[in-house]
Structure 1
Amino acid sequence: MGRKQAECSTKVSAEGSSLVAWGIVLLLALFPRTYACPAGCQCSEGTGGVQCRSLEVPPDLPPWTRNLTVTGGNMTVLRAGFLEENGTAPENLTALVLADNGVQVIEPQAFKGLRVLAVLDLSHNALVSVASSAFWGLGWLQTLRMSGALRDGMLEQFSLALLNGTLEGLRELDLTNNRLQEVPMAVLQLPDLRVLDLRHNWIQALDATTLAGLHRRRRLQLSLVHNPFVCDCHLKPLLLWLRNGSQCKDAQEIRCSSPPRMNTSFILRLKTEELKCINEDLETASYIFFGIVLALIGVIFLMVLYLNRRGMKKWLNNFREACRDQMEGYHYRYEQDADPRRGNATGVGGL
């Protein structure tokens, strides 16, 4: 009997434990766990948005976070896998905004673990160093915003990071307010890029190589307004490209910055013959000056001939008389040599 009672009590306890477990599961299903919003942040579980204004990324982000915005911080360095390092990398994070955080250095594989990240905003930072593999692992990235983030001399590092990153799906690139003087050629090698924003830079013209690259990427849309374009002879290829294509979205709004006579003029309203360089004007002026000098020399020569016309006439007469005397002498000797009788008489006299 004792053994049976023990078996019964064991079964009862096992059944009770299973009931408790099922009860806990039921409670969790009916009352799902809620996650507290990190301090200094605003959260919206319905949209998956978390907006924070803090010195660094909070370490206790809810797992449902899809859109994370951290601004006004002091994140000088983005270390390798900086979100994974603190265990704060949500698996479904699709948008990460780190604008205006004083970021200066991006280390290799800084965004490691963000496999489905589609939007990355690093605008208004002060980047002085970007590792060549900084964007590694962002195969799903579609939008990259770098407005006002690249300091002088950063174009080469950034271009290398674009080429070495797994950014085959990147469709939109914002490079406004970066003092760029040319279109980064690495950008034209991104296979799926559709939108390139280069407004508010220091671009003065587009060379033939850049225009050829853009011509090959016919699906790429460009924005170029608010650049200090110099409307001289070097702008002719750009003017022809703007007129013959539709890749520049704001072509109608692009204006000249210099020379002063063309300041604020709309580029598309200019005529090709108006685009002249200083050296071309100097060359034209030099030809005109050379022609004037030759004309003066010719006039002076004619005046000398006119003033000495009597002497020239006398000299010509004397020259003509000398030539006549010379020709008569030749003619006389020819006649003497050609007469056979004078030859025979000379022979008889000699005998």
Structure 2
Amino acid sequence: MAQRPAGCHGGRPLSAILAGLLLLPLLQAGRSCSTPCFCFATPDTLQCRLGRLLEPPAELPPAARNLSIAGGNLTVLRAAAFAGGWLEGREGKAAARPLAHLTLLVLTHDAIEALEEAAFAGLPALAALDLSHNRLRAVAPGAFAGCAQLRTLRLNQALRRGTRGGLGELLDGALANLSLARLELAGNRLRELPPGTALPPGLRLLDARNNSLQALAAEQLDGLAALGRPRLLLAANPLRCDCASLRPLLVWLRNASADDDRGLLHCASPRPLKGWPLGRLRASQLGCGGGEGAELGLPADDASLRPPETASYVFFGIVLALIGVVFLMVLYLNRRGIKRWLNNLRDACRDQMEGYHYRYEQDCDPRRAGTGGL
């Protein structure tokens, strides 16, 4: 209890640096951590420490299932970083303290820059790994060796700014031997998708939202098709909407499943189509020929060029304009009769006012004031 675990150093506490550690055995009632900084428990001991985590803890309970470390400064994950490092034996290298039951590992906001060979060795049951919000600049080809059960890998906003070669080169060879079902690459400012050779076969979902994708090359999408046509998420990308740029994507969407995010895709350029939903585009807007538009599944009817609500306002304006034109035409054709009617009205009003004026002058005559008293 009094010993400080390796990797902990004195300093101010960080918020939620190690949280959500779930164990198979339950602790006795009334035993809980009083500080949120560093906490893990076993059936026999309960340890809480204050410190800034500069490397993974040297000892973790072997029954742990879920482990979350956030806000640390891990920088580099070396071989078997969470399983006590390598041990030399007769059968070769092996993890010193493997965590056979760990299925979820969350390492967000930990300033991780490099993953060395076999960084996650000793975690044979690991099924989900979250490395989002880090600064990866180097990933060894065998960084995920030994993670045969890994199905979900999250690398959202994990690429360091200015990394040369992009995420495809960074992950080249690292994912080839995995059996991933879900790969998340959102928020990495990607200008192109990773090549199919850098992605694991059997991938079911590739999340590439909120990147800098303007156009998808046919070779990239063909590489995804060779993997089994995984579900592709592309929302919040600045897509360029012209026939040449959109052709590969439209072909992909035409053959893709109906549960993609095509309803969230919008054009970013050219300016006349900025913000236009991809699902409402027409062949004439993209500059595609009639035959080419039909091949891509684009409607060629210009009458449906505008969205329904816009068309209704336009129709209403046309009706009001026609009514105004008819009204002005009626006034013009009856201008003489209207002028004669106005003159007659003016004469009638003048005669009426003269009659009122005459009666007023008679009533004001002093010679007629006393007549009623005689």
Q: Tell me whether the two structures share a fold, i.e. TM-score over 0.5.
A: yes
Distance 1:178 1:118, change over 3 A: same
CA offsets 1:117-161 (integer angstroms, 9 cap, x no match): 111111000011111211111111011000000133242443314
Give the CA deviation at 1:217.
Answer: 4.3
Deviations 1:258-291 (A, max 9, x none): 11111000112111232249xxxxxxxxxxxxxx
Q: Distance in 1 between matches of 2:116 and 2:32?
A: 31
- 1:39-78 to structure 2, matched below 5 A, reads 40-42=37-39, 54-55=52-53, 56-78=55-77
Deviation at 1:63, TM superposition (A): 2.2
Partner of 1:240: 251
Within 5 Å, which residues of 2 pair with 1:213-224? 213-224=223-234
2:172 paired residue number: 160
Identical-pair percentage: 41
SS at match of 1:274: helix
SS in 2 for 1:84: coil
Please state how far the C-alpha of 1:57 moved relative to its aligned partner: 2.8
Greater share of residues in helix: 1
Secondary structure of the corresponding residue to residue 69 of structure 2: strand
Give the match's secondary structure for 1:135.
coil
Select which of 273, 293, 299 maps to 2:284.
273
Give the equivalent residue in structure 1 for 2:135.
126
Q: Is the 8 A contact 2:69 2:108 kept in 1?
A: yes
Larger radius of gyration: 1
Q: In 1, Cα distance between the equivalents of 2:209 and 2:48?
A: 28
Alignment of 1:78-97 (within 5 A): 78-85=77-84, 89-97=98-106
Change (3 A) 1:33 1:188: closer
1:195 aligns with 2:205: yes
Structure 1 residues 182 and 33: CA distance shift in structure 2, 3 A:
closer
Amino acid of the structure 1 residue aligned with 2:38: C
Secondary structure of 2:82's match?
Answer: helix
SS in 2 for 1:125: coil
Per-residue deviation, 1:239:
2.2
Question: Residues 196 and 226 of structure 2 are in contact (CA less than 8 Å); yes or no, is this contact kept in structure 1?
Answer: no
For 1:99-114, what aligned pairs fall within 5 Å after superposition? 99-114=108-123
CA displacement 1:37-93 (0-9 Å, x = unmatched): 7973355779xxx99995143334222211000000000111111122366642211
Rounded Cα–Cα distance in structure 1 between residues aligned with 2:48 and 2:277: 42
Contact 2:97 2:122 in 1 (8 A): no
Distance in 1 (CA, whole Å) between partners of 2:48 and 2:103 is 14
1:264 aligns with 2:275: yes
Whole-Å separation in 2 of the counterparts to 1:179 and 1:185: 16
SS of the aligned residue for 1:66 comes to strand
Shift of 1:240: 3.5
1:143 aligned onto 2:143: no
Residues 185 and 231 of structure 1: CA distance in aligned 2, closer, same or farther (over 3 Å): same
Report the CA distance shift for 1:116/1:37 in structure 2 as closer, same or farther (over 3 A): farther
Distance 1:51 1:225 in 2: 42
Q: Residue 236 of structure 2 is aligned with which of 226, 237, 244?
A: 226
Query: Equivalent residue for 2:262?
Result: 251
Shift of the 33–276 alpha-carbon distance from structure 1 to 2, 3 Å rule, reads closer
TM-score where L is the length of structure 2: 0.58
SS in 1 for 2:172: helix
Match of 2:194 in 1: 184
Partner Cα separation in structure 2 for residue 134 and residue 158 of structure 1: 12
Structure 1: runs of 5 or more not aligned:
1-31, 278-351
Shift of 1:202: 0.7
Q: Is the 8 A contact 2:184 2:207 kept in 1?
A: yes
Distance in 2 separating the partners of 1:38 and 1:137: 36
Describe the SS at the equivalent of 1:82.
Answer: coil
> Contact 1:232–1:275 (CA<8 Å) still a contact in 2?
yes
Aligned 8 A contact 1:162 1:187 in 2: no
Report how far residue 96 of structure 1 moved. Answer: 0.8
Structure 2, gaps ≥5 residues long: 1-25, 86-95, 289-374
TM-score by length of 1: 0.61
- What number of residue pairs does the alignment pair up? 242
Q: Contact (CA 8 Å) 1:54, 1:71: kept in 2 or not?
A: no
Q: Give 1:178's aligned amino acid.
A: N
Deviates more, 1:247-256 or 1:113-122: 247-256
Instruction: Give how far 1:171 is off.
Output: 0.6
Q: Report the more deviating stretch, 220-229 or 201-210.
A: 201-210
Matched residue of 1:144: which SS? strand
Pairwise CA RMSD of aligned residues?
3.3
